[in-house]
Each structure stands twice: as structure tokens, then as C-alpha cells.
Amino acid sequence: MIKYIVKRLLQLIPVIIVTSFLIYWAMNLTSGDPALLIAGDKATPEMLEQIREEMGLNDPFLVRYGRYMLGMIQGDMGESYITGKDVFQTFMETLPNTLMLGGAAVLIAVIIALPLGIYTAIHQSTWKDNVGMVFALFGTAMPNFWLGLMLILLFSLKLGWFPSGGKAGFSSVVLPAVTVGYGLAALIMRTTRSSMLDVIRQDYMTTARAKGCSERQVIFRHGLKNALIPIITAIGMQISMIMTGSVLAETVFSWPGIGRLVNDSIARRDNEMVTGAIIMCSICMCLINLVVDLVYAFFDPRIKAQYAKKG
Amino acid sequence: MKKKLALLMCLAMLATSVIGCSGGNGETTSGGETSAAGETTAAADGATGHKDTLIIGTDVDINNLDLQAQQDQINNIVLKNTHQALVWFTNEGEFEPGLATSWENVDDTHIKFTLRDDVYFNDGNKTPMTAEDVKFTLDMAMESVSAPNLAGFVSCTVDGDYEFTIETESYNNEFVQSLASQNLAIQSKKAYEDGVEDPYYIGTGPYKFDSWVQGEYCRLTKVEDYWGATTDQEVPDWAAPGVAETIDFKPYVEASSRVIALQAGEIDVCVNPPINELPFLEEDPNITVYEQAGSRLFYFAFNVTKEPWDNQTLRQAVACAIDRDSVLQAAVEGKGTLQTTILNRGLWGFYDDMEGFDYDVERAKELMAEAGYPDGGITTTLTYANSSPYESIATIIQANLAEIGITVTLSPCEDATLKSTCVNGDQELFLWRWNEDSKVDFVYRDLFYTGSGSNYHHYSDARADELTDLVATEKDPDKRLEYAQELQTYLVDACPQVPLYIANLVIAYNSNLQGQYFYGGGNHYWAHAYIAE
Amino acid sequence: MAKKANTVSTNNDVIKSRSQFQEVFHRLLKNKGAVIGMIFLLVLVIIALISPLAFDYETQVIGQNMADRLQGPSAAHWFGTDEYGRDLFARIMWGSRYSLIIGFGAVTIGLVVGTILGAIAGFKGGIWDQLIMRFIDIFYSIPNIMIAVVIVSVLGTSTVNLVIALSFSAATGFCRVVRAAVMTVRDQEYVESSYAMGLPTWKIIAKHILPNCLSPIIVQYTLQVGTTIISASSLSFLGIGVPAPAPEWGALLSGGRSRMRDASYLCVLPGLAILFTVLALNLLGDGLRDALDPKLKK
């Protein structure tokens, strides 16, 4: 098991190298000189030259990349061109906001989707099932930033229940989380429904019923537990979608998260920040995927046994 | 399983809204454990009759609070409360003594200053602010990105604890005015020498830096033993102690969110509210919408080195083709003033009586013919920043120019790309703005002088350069004014840019706001503002 | 659909495949969701084709009329007018051209690139497989939208660049699907026999392997077009999509965002256009999946 984890962690190294190279290179190709943004409107040509010199922007690309990687090996991800703050520190300050948003989104999605998935599975092919499926279809077809705007229109403007943006306490997370969570809920619901349908027909369910368990017990104790693995997989597969959703929701709701950090930094040609933040993002996503894999093992001893063998 | 689904499609459209609602209800209980963030509700302080906290909703993110390492207005607005400059610039366009009480020109290149002797830094030790700190600050500025604010500076000599002399390259009418810029506010030499962490946070202002979480908020707290509160000498209005205990600056980049936040009471001030939402704010009894003439000039411009825009008559034809009323309407719903001259309104020597180029398609067509393009047939590109209001301006201008046979491709890009493109002279037409409310030289010289870094027009003309120099150095006010008017007339006629309009300053705030001090250019001073109760 | 299935079928089993195609089509017609999706898409394609006849681009779609700005929906302007007095109905109808071209364009590029990479990885295996899949994994570990934003920043804002940026994420999806499919077919006897006959590798892949991976590719294609239309509108929303004044739906939405309070239809209607288009694509995709693989249908 530990061997497996170590192996997965080692696989991060090529990811970091290739990602950092690609992003650093791409940012290098973008038109737009960071020195111009730092120096402001009144910049003189000499001053720009001086700034470029100080930041090492005049060096060839490979030299700069080499220097960047050298720093990274020593655990230094560099400083933002614009704010002068440490990239890693800034990322870590922002990360909790995104995790909070993502976590709330997953939570909301699960709370809505799990019961709905089970319910529709039990009432398969009735109008209840169909209403549920329509809910799911809309979730996957809706641009989530648009959903965000509609939620603002309804819940902030018309009803005034929730703030329309910014991060100020509990209520401010609700709308962005629903925005990110709806698409996810749709996917989880469909997965729950189909894996419940699989499970419902299994012999052990009939056995449980025969033993005199109540229908509720049958569904939850025997059915749900076995249906969980595909559901967790579905959530795990969608980490990327959650991140993408967050980028947009953060823009719509002025939420101070990673997505906005990266987006703003790209606009400001803050190469160190963009590269650092995207690398950290992909590391986080790999780690989350690892955790998801480990959670499978927890729910399914067969997979656990496989890890042990492989490791 | 999906057979009946199709039949339900119509129902579905109704159903989503219902489900959407129930979803919303669900979350109220579900998100509980995920949200532990501190809520910034202002605790009322009945005794003093004002709220402890003043929360200002800004339209952009604060990005750097190292005074001399940045040039952004938003940072300067924050820093204005924590650091003070030698010269104080009032919102009526006057320059008054700041930390320096008086100054005189010894000769053409030397100015002697006297400092207040009762000012100390907010470093906990009440370290006095002396001429050494001034010299340190100015010398440091010359090595930083703030150097252009101090153009012409040669050296600073300390003559005593509270006296110093500045040497300049040549006589300049506006040198002292430069010292009012926030980047040149006085910093503590001792803090830098003692190796204090982030020494640039230490200033002399009525507030001091507390905390800053990028993208979230920046908090300032009132200085208890502020020099302006403890001194026995007379304190000018601008240096009076603060009232609110803390001032928070919170970015709400999305304009609509900022307005809603103000209406919901999450913030007390909404900077730059979107014009189309003003009616909603105006009907709200708890909110005041304030409007005054601004100083931010938006213009349409040419790269005069690019064919065919090196043709002055052609440029004038384009100027006549632009329907600036529609531009003003589309960009800011008419909340602004159309402008003929290239100088920001309110600056010294502002002159708007030249003929200029009003919207006149017939005249435009005549000029086109005169310029050698009777049938139009020009294809070109308009580059602009992909943000409000440029998008609207570009859309109108594109339609206008089509009328005189100029096909314009729009090329929106990010600020960084726009600036690089313009500096390198790769653009053909572009949109930009200039915001200057204190020094005229920062307009003439920066925008039109041969070789200036921000002369995106790449305009170069001996007469314009000469007049710019004369306006800067002529001591006789009457003659200087004459030069200034001639220069403006000359530049409007040369037409490297078509001035469009000056946007009004619009700001919305809680009706209980007191002590605010607004500038048409947007560099508001918040140190004495508070919410009365 | 019909054309595709026919052209890829090999000569010697035309008859068999036609009946197979008919069977699939028959199953598809029984799925009402898929039928609705197909009809909607058909109507949309027709709208996209005839909108140049119905509306004049210069005057009706981008032509401004400041006197008529911000009129709510009425008989004269079914969907109201925007802040420049342009008819929103004309713009949304015309905008279908952009969304469809971007959606299908990006996914087609992604299909070609992804299929080639996936086929190589799946067929060659070994080091090729490792290299390609590691690379794809890396793209998977960065949120798609960030990749797209970086690419557009590099290339600049234009419709073509938007298509290129979006084709990246489509390609990674196809690569995975094709690789998995190729690996299952690779060791079948008929492939081995053509190998023995000395056919060049690319011919084997093109003639024998890909036609047999068609079902997952078709399904993936349909669903991916929907995803891509959403992504394109997201990028427009972030301000780096199709430049003005083109009436791409995301751009309309982004423009209407600041008018949410006083003219909410500017924001609601383009959103509905996107929603229903993607919904139709998803319904069709689901229907195709069931029709192509009856075993999956429970």
C-alpha cells in the first residue's frame, strides 16, 4: 500500500517537469511585456530596460527556465512579478478558498444527487424517474457560469436571500457552490441511478428481503454500499470539471480562489505566478485522484488486495 | 427507461425552476460545516456615534502595496491613508503644504524646503520624520519604477533636521507638484536600515497597514498615537486623525455584485458603479449616488507612423466620422462630457474653444476625398483592451467608420498585449485613456513628446515638442497660458488622437457616510470617512 | 450520420453493414429523446444555413440603431434589442452559425488529432503508448479552461484560435477513447491475419481497426460537441472568445451580463440557446449510445 502511494507520488515528477516547461514556454510566447505593466503608464524606455534587466527578462528563454527549475528544486517557486509576493505562499493563501468552494459543491451535489439517484432507481420508468432524469440532463447541458448569473438574478436580486459575490461568511458560498455543484450533481445522480439499478437486481438483495429486512434497510445497507464505488469514481473523474467550474464561478461571484488568481495572473503576464499556480493545481489534482483511489480501496477490499499485490 | 422522457420535455422547462428553488433551500443547511470564514460585520459603537468599520468595495484588486514598486491607482488609494507626501493636492486642484510647510526657489535649479517638526512614523517608537527620511525616500524613488514621477530630480541635500534642498535639472513650473504624488510619500529610513520586514508599510499617516489577503480584502487600522492627534501645533484638515477604527478595501471585480453588495449592506461604498444600474441605487433610500465632473479622458488614436494614418487629412476625416454622442451614450449612458481638446479637464490651461472635429459625415467624406481616398476602401485594425468601456466604444466606431468606407477589424486584447503592441508601434488604430489631474506636463510630454515611452501615437513634431518645453519652463503666467492654448490647438489639428469624452466620477455609498473626500480623477481620500450612526 | 456510416464500411460487407446501420437507426428512432434532439439540431442547422438569407449581417446583425436601444421583447423585436439597438433575435439566429462552426470545428480537429494519437498508442503499445498517454495524462491534470486561456493568450483572440484552443481538450478525450477501443480490437484474428498478409500498419489501422471502434467515437463526438459549445461560451464570457461584433452566443451572454438588472432578457435568452443546443446534443448522444450498443440498454 505504502509502496503504491510512493509510486504514485513519484509519477508526479514528470508531470511537474512537463507542465512547468509547457506553461513557462507558452507564457513566454504570449505577447505582452510584464515590465510595461509594472512600470505603469509613465514608463520611460530606460526604466523598462532596467526592470527587464532586474527581473532577468532579457535572458534567453532556456536560461530563465533553467533558473526557474533550479529554484523549484530548492523549494522556491519564485516571486510574483506584480505583487512581489512568494508564489507558493500566495497559492497556499488562495487554495483554502477554492477547496472550500469545491468541497461545498461536492457536498451539495452529493446531498442532492444521492437521494435523487436512489429515488429514481426505485421508481424506474415512472414519471418521477423522468422528472429526475430531466433534472440531470439540464445539469449537464447548462453552462455553469450562466447558471450562476441566473441564480444571482433570482436569489440575490429578486429575493435577496444570498449575497451576489465576494467572500463574507457562510451565506456567500452557497450560490457559487450550487453553480459548480449542479453539473456535478447531474452526473452523480445518473451514476447513482444506474449503479443502483445494477445492484437492485442482485441476488443478495433478494436474500436480504427474504430475511425480512425492511425495504429501507435493503436499499441503504445492502444496496447503497455496493453502489458506492462507481459513484466515487464518478466524483473522482470530475475533479477537473470542478476546477473548471470554479474558475468560472469565481469570476461570476468575485470569489478569491485559484481560478481567478490564475486568470488574473495570465492577464498580467505574471509568468512565475501562472506557472507556479498551474503546477500546484496539477499536483493538487493528482493528489486528490490518489485520495479517491485510496477511498475505493477502503470501500472495496478486492481493490485493496490488488494494490497490495501490485505494490 | 428514457422512453417517456421525450414527452416530458415541455414540463421540464417548468420543472427546472422548481427544482432550482428546492436545491437552493437544501444548501442552507448543507454548507454549514464548510464555511468557517470570519464574518466582517461591523460592531456598532454607540458612544462615538459611528461604525467601527468602513468597508469600501473596489472595482479592481489591490496588487502591490510597496509604495514605490507600483503605479496603480487602487494601491495608491489605500496607501494614501498610511503615507503622507511633502505636498498636499486638494480636490479643487490646488497644491498646499503637506509634510513640507514651505518652499522657495533659491535659483532656477534649487528649491529649499522646510518640514514640519512634529511628525513621526507609526513604527511603535515614534521615530521622528526628518530631512534624512526625505532624502532617503527620494533617492530610493529614483531607482524604482516611481522615477518618472520625479522627472528632473538631480539630488537632495540635507540642510538640517527639518530643512533640505532639492536640485533639479532645469527650471520646471511643475516640479513641486510632482512631490504630491503618492509614490513619493515619505518612508522611514530607519525601518529600512533596521531590516524591518516589509519596511515600506511604515508611514506617517492616520492609518496603518494591518493585513492584506490578495483578492479578498486589505485592512487598515487607525493609529492611536498618530502625530496629528498628539501634536500641539495646528494640524491642517488633511492630516486630521481618522475616525473609523478600521478601513477595509474589498475587491468586487464583477460590477453587478458590487452594487448588490452595497444594497445588501455588505459594503459601505461602491466605487465605480455600473452606470446602467444607477436607477436601482437612486431609488434606494439608504444609498446616495454622487456624481461630479471627472478627469479621465477616453480617446481614439492613430499610430501616425503606419500607412495610411501618417496622412493628417485622413486622420481628420476619421475624426469627423465618429459620432461621439453615441459613443458617450453607449460607453457611459451619457454620464460624461464630450471633449475637443487633448488635455484632461480641470488641468491648468485647459482650452476647449478650438474648432475641432464634430460629427459630420459630409465633411468627413470631403476630407476623405481631399486626403486622396474619395471612395474609402481602407481596411484597418482597431486594437483595444477587452474591458469596459472600450468594447462599447469600439463597436460604435466600427459602425461609424464603415459609413465613410473604412473597414475596421476589431482586435480586443489584454492590457499587457495592448501596451506591448502600442509601445512597439505594431498597432494601427487604438483606444486608450489618460487620467491626469495634477500636472499638465504629464499629458503633453508623456503622450505627444518625441520618443516618450507612453507616446503610443509615435507622434513626433518639432513645434509640439518646443511648445511642450515652453509650457513647462515659461515663468510668465500669461505667456505660458498662450503657449498652452497654442499647443492644444496645434495638437487637436494635427490629430494624432481623437478625444472622445471625459467620464464623470460616479460613486455610490451608504447615505450615512461622512467625511469623504472625492477627487474627479478617482484618487479618493478615505482617512476621515466613517459611517455615522 | 448516414453518410458517415456508409463511407467507412468496407466494400465486401456493404450489405451487412447497411442492415446493421438500419437496425441502429431503427433503434434510435424508438428513443424519443434522441428524436427530439435530432429534430432540434436539424432545425438549428437549417437556421444556421438560412440566416444569411433572412437577415442582412451588416444592417440587421451588427448594424446599430441607437434610437432603439434596450427595447424589451415585442412584436417588432421578438427577443428585444441590445444596448446598440441591434435585434437580439437576429443575433441569436446568426450566432448559431458561430456556435455550430466552433463546436463541430474544434471537435473535428480534436477527433483527427486524438484518433491518430490514440490509434498509435493503442496499436503500437510499449514506449509509444507510454509517451502519448503520459502526455495526455498531464493535460488531464490541468483544468481544461486554464489550458485554453493560456493558448488563446499565446495565439491572440480570434475565432480560429478559439477553435484551436478548444480542440486540445477534445483531442485528449478522443485519444483515450480510441486507444481503449483499439486495444480491444488489436488482437482479434482478422487484424492478425491482415498483418500476416503484409498490409502496412496505417492501412490496417484505417481499414480494419478504426471502423470497428466507430461506436464509441460517434458517441464521444456528439457529446463532445456539446461540451465544446459550452467551453467556447465560457471563454467568450472570460473575454477571450470571438471578438465583437460577431454574435457568438457566449459573447452575447457576456455582453448581457452587465445588463442583468435592467434588461435580463439579454442574458437569459442566449443562455437558453446554448442550453437547448447542448441538451439536444446530449439527448442524441445518449440515444446513439443505447442504439449502437444494445447490450448497454437495460
Work out the minimum CA distance from B363 to partner chain C, whole angstroms. 21
Q: Say how many domains are in chain C.
A: 1
Number of helical H runs and strand E runs in chain A:
16, 0
CA distance B90 to B518: 10
Nearest in space to B273 (alpha carbons), one of B318, B183, B329, B333: B333
Instruction: Find the residue in B nearest to C245 (Cα).
Output: B395
What DSSP line would sit under chain C, residue for residue? -HHHHHHHS-GGGHHHHHHHHHHHHHHHHH-HHHHHHHHHHHHHHHHHHHHHHHS-IIIIIS---GGGTTPPS-SSSTT-B-TT--BHHHHHHHHHHHHHHHHHHHHHHHHHHHHHHHHHHHHH-HHHHHHHHHHHHHHHTS-HHHHHHHHHHHH-SSHHHHHHHHHHHHHHHHHHHHHHHHHHHHTSHHHHHHHHTT--HHHHIIIIIGGGGHHHHHHHHHHHHHHHHHHHHHHHHTT-SSPTTS--HHHHHHHHHTTTTT-THHHHHHHHHHHHHHHHHHHHHHHHHHHH-GGG--
Q: Which three cell numbers stand for residue A235?
A: 466524483
Q: What is the mean pLDDT of residues B107-131?
A: 93
Specify the pLDDT at position C298: 39
Nearest in space to C5 (alpha carbons), one of C288, C257, C202: C288
pLDDT confidence tier of residue B83, bands split at 50, 70 and 90: very high
Specify the pLDDT at position C1: 39
Strands B406-413 and B378-385 turn out to be parallel
Domain B293-504 falls under CATH 3.10.105.10:
yes
For A225, B220, C239, C241, C270, the CA distances from C82, given in Å and listed in that order, are 53, 42, 18, 19, 12
Neighbouring chains of B at 3+ CB pairs under 8 Å are A, C
| Interchain contact, B26 vs A111, CB within 8 Å | yes
CA distance A177 to A101: 6
Among B32, B70, B147, the residue with its CB nearest the CB of A47 is B147
Q: What is the mean pLDDT of residues C276-289?
A: 90
Q: What is the mean pLDDT of residues C223-230?
A: 90
A18 CB within 8 Å of a chain C CB: yes
Instruction: Find the residue in B nearest to C154 (Cα).
Output: B417
Rg over CA atoms, chain C: 22
Is the pLDDT assigned to residue C17 strictly greater than 70?
no
Phi and psi for B389 in degrees, rounded to 5? -100, 10
Is the pLDDT assigned to residue A309 strictly greater than 60?
no
pLDDT confidence tier of residue B33, bands split at 50, 70 and 90: very low
Is the pLDDT assigned to residue B17 strictly greater than 70?
no
Start-end of CATH 1.10.3720.10 domains in chain A:
91-310
CA distance C152 to C157: 6
pLDDT confidence tier of residue C295, bands split at 50, 70 and 90: low
B283 CB within 8 Å of a chain A CB: no
DSSP secondary structure code for residue B276 in this structure: G
- Indicate the class that CATH gives domain B53-288: alpha beta
| Interchain contact, C33 vs B399, CB within 8 Å | no
Is the pLDDT assigned to residue B6 strictly greater than 80?
no
* Amino acid at site A252: V
Is the pLDDT assigned to residue B39 strictly greater than 60?
no
Work out the minimum CA distance from C243 to partner chain B, whole angstroms. 7
C234 CB within 8 Å of a chain A CB: yes
Rg over CA atoms, chain A: 24
- Is omega for the bond preceding C211 within 30 degrees of 0, making it cis? no
Is the pLDDT assigned to residue B42 strictly greater than 60?
no
Q: What is the mean pLDDT of residues C168-177?
A: 88
Work out the minimum CA distance from A267 to partner chain B, whole angstroms. 6
How many pairs of residues across B and C have Cβ atoms under 8 Å apart? Answer: 81
| Interchain contact, B416 vs A48, CB within 8 Å | no
Q: What is the CATH number of the domain that holds C192?
A: 1.10.3720.10
DSSP secondary structure code for residue A79 in this structure: B
Does some domain include residue C281? yes
Q: Which residue has the cell 510668465?
A: B476
pLDDT tens-digit series, residues B310-339: 999 999 999 999 999 999 998 998 999 999
Q: Which residue has the cell 532577468?
A: A56
Residue B387 three-state SS: coil
Least confident of B31-40, B305-314, B462-471: B31-40
pLDDT tens-digit series, residues C70-112: 888 888 888 888 878 888 899 999 999 998 999 999 999 999 9
Work out the minimum CA distance from B188 to partner chain C, whole angstroms. 41
Q: Which residue has the higher pLDDT, B223 or B260?
A: B223
> Is C90 in contact with C97 (CB distance < 8 Å)?
no
Does some domain include residue C115? yes
Mean pLDDT of chain B: 87
Domain ranges of chain B: 53-288, 293-504
B302: left (phi over 0), alpha (psi -120 to 50) or beta: beta
Instruction: Find the residue in C nearest to B386 (Cα).
Output: C239
pLDDT tens-digit series, residues A66-82: 988 898 888 888 888 88
Specify the pLDDT at position B453: 84
| Interchain contact, C278 vs A14, CB within 8 Å | no
Specify the pLDDT at position B161: 93
pLDDT confidence tier of residue A307, bands split at 50, 70 and 90: low
Among B9, B329, B417, the residue with its CB nearest the CB of C36 is B9
Among C33, C62, C83, the residue with its CB nearest the CB of B2 is C33
Work out the minimum CA distance from C297 to partner chain A, whole angstroms. 11
Residues 429-458 of B with CB under 8 A from A: 434, 442, 446, 451-454
Q: What is the mean pLDDT of residues A156-182?
A: 84
Instruction: Find the residue in B nearest to A124 (Cα).
Output: B1
pLDDT confidence tier of residue C134, bands split at 50, 70 and 90: confident
Domain A91-310 falls under CATH 3.40.50.1000:
no
- Which of A281-285, B71-75, C122-126, C205-209 has the highest mean predicted lDDT (pLDDT)? B71-75
Least confident of B38-47, B276-285, B359-368, C27-36: B38-47
Residue B451 three-state SS: coil
For B341, B365, C55, C133, the CA distances from B407, given in Å and listed in that order, are 26, 15, 20, 47
Q: What is the mean pLDDT of residues A99-116?
A: 90
Residues 69-108 of B with CB under 8 A from A: 69-72
DSSP secondary structure code for residue A220 in this structure: I
Residues of A in contact with B3 (CB under 8 A): 125
Report CA dihedral (B452, B458, B461, B464) to the nearest 10 degrees: -50
Does some domain include residue C181? yes
Residues 166-225 of C with CB under 8 A from B: none
Q: Which residue has the cell 533553467?
A: A66
Give me the helices (H) in B371-454, please: 390-403, 415-424, 441-448
Among C36, C261, C298, the residue with its CB nearest the CB of B6 is C36
Is the pLDDT assigned to residue B120 strictly greater than 60?
yes
pLDDT confidence tier of residue C274, bands split at 50, 70 and 90: very high
Q: Which three cell numbers stand for residue B499?
A: 478625444
A45 CB within 8 Å of a chain C CB: no
Instruction: Find the residue in A nearest to B30 (Cα).
Output: A108
Residues of B in contact with A258 (CB under 8 A): none
Q: What is the pTM of this model?
A: 0.81
CA distance C71 to C64: 13
Q: Which domain holds residue C140?
A: 24-59+79-296
